[in-house]
Chains A and B, each alone.
Chain A
Amino acid sequence: MFDIEKLEKEWERYDRKRRRPRYIMASVLLLIASLGYFAYTEALFQKIIGSTLVEKKDVTQPSSSSESVWKEHKLYTKLLEKNGTNMQVFPADAPMEKEDIFIETIDAKLPKPVVAKEERKPIHLEIHQTSSVDAYKDVERRFNEAPNVEDALFLAKAYFHKGVYKKSESWALKTNKLDPEIEESWLIFIQSKARLGEKNEALRVLTAYLKQHHSKEAEKLLESMQ
């Protein structure tokens, strides 16, 4: 009879050797899965902080042409002028360097611009609050690298909810510069102004806005402010 113990040990070595590729394969798979999970969570995190808009808009190609935006700004200014107030407005397509606020007096002789009312698709917004200051900074950095409506609006809303009204006012303004048709940013702008103690100014902007837009939200806000 042969040495069974020796044979058993030999088999154990053989079995370990045979299983080795399986362990390696399992480890590799685990590593891939971990990396995949990490990448997924990272992407999810970026999505949460950076892309709150469900329906994305291409910033590089604004929905309205710069000409129409200019016209709209002129209209706002004119409306406010009628109320005896000069309003600070920003052209949407103005370069970032030209952030200086301009005041334009409407020439009465100018023909009244006709604003074509476009059917706008409702933009659904979701706000995910985060306490991370770094997260806001990341979004701000991203906005500075590539200005876009989504980031600006997100920051406006986020700062407004956090009670940082100076910043929410500023970001709402930046949003309006990029797309003056977003009602939410106008309302944040107005509310921020009101919270900062500039209630009259806020009311004036809101009234002017309401003259151009029949918005229930804006009306509600006006009621609450009066």
Chain B
Amino acid sequence: MKSRFTPAKEVFVDSVDVEDYIELEASVAAYSLLEESISKPLKMILLFGRPGTGKSILLNQIATKLKYQKEIYYFDTPANQEKEFFQKLFKILTKKALPKNTEVNFSALVDYCKTLRGKREIIILLDEAQLYSAEMMEKIRLLSDSRAVKFVIALHKTENEDLIAKEHFQSRIWEVIELKNASKEDQATYIHKKLLKKNLFEIANSLKKKNLERIHTFTEGNFRECNKLLYTIFEICEYYDENEPSKVNYEEVSQKIVEMAALKLGYIHV
């Protein structure tokens, strides 16, 4: 028999699926800001924040919501090679596939983009942009100068990446949106909404304030870490439910289980 904790565990499988997008006060604000920025005549928009702050899911959400209104494209992972990236871009711009055994002439591509100015407005959402080389970023900057293509660049916030941003884009007109870790309240709402979305009311109620506070302490409000921790918590509950039911309290998730999950994931150490 399937444990009652199994679906709860599955809720917290980390994904950037729009279906899993949870509207929170902070994420709604970031979404509105990004939407507003996209509608402005900006060449580049920088979306940055620590890993797990919801950049990818936000890009996904905006791509899904605006796909019928704007020419918007989401590049989830950087191409292995520059060639691949420009082939993809060529297809988007010309709406034609690149003929076999040919390569994109970058200068010609920039010129082509210039011809599109005022006719089309293409938005490219580049996730994990910290993985692009400096040379690639310079080319992206040149493409954005054509004003026919807007780039939303999602970066991890580290010292190094800030440096990249400074070197390549400092002089460009752009908007900077920073995503931060969730507050205690936002994270609690996030967890509850995720569970309630799957009709797991009892499980949602079994997570008490003290559990949520402890979870926030361990994960520091990071959504990815939160998903990992919740997944492990329900995995332990699932084990007890199936093997040692006396050890699991269905009314309230015990702090012991939360701490066991934290130990397993290395948030705390003996």
Chain A interface (Cβ within 8 Å of chain B)?
A: 1-2, 4, 7-8, 10-11, 13-15, 17
Contacts and interface: CB of A to CB of B under 8 A. Distances in A.
A14 B264 contact: no
6 contacts: A7-B236, A10-B263, A11-B260, A13-B270, A15-B259, A17-B270
A16 to B, nearest CB: 9
B270 A7 contact: no
A60 B260 CA distance: 71
In this complex, the interface size class of chain B, counting residues with CB under 8 Å from chain A, is 10 to 19
A17 B259 CA distance: 13
Given A2-B264, A7-B263, 9 more contacts: A4-B239, A4-B240, A7-B236, A8-B260, A11-B260, A13-B270, A14-B263, A14-B270, A17-B270
B259 A11 contact: yes
Contacts, number: 28
A11 B239 contact: no
B26 interface: no
B256 interface: yes
A60 to B, nearest CB: 63
A1 B236 CA distance: 9
For the complex of A and B, 6 pairs with smallest distance between CB atoms: A13-B270, A11-B260, A14-B270, A7-B260, A10-B263, A10-B270
B261 to A, nearest CB: 9
Interface in B215-270: 235-236, 239-240, 243, 256, 259-260, 263-264, 268-270
Contacts of B256: 11, 15
A6 to B, nearest CB: 10
Contacts of A15: 256, 259
A4 B260 CA distance: 9
Given A10-B263, A11-B256, A14-B263, A4 B236 contact: yes
Contacts of B239: 1, 4
Contacts of A11: 256, 259-260, 263
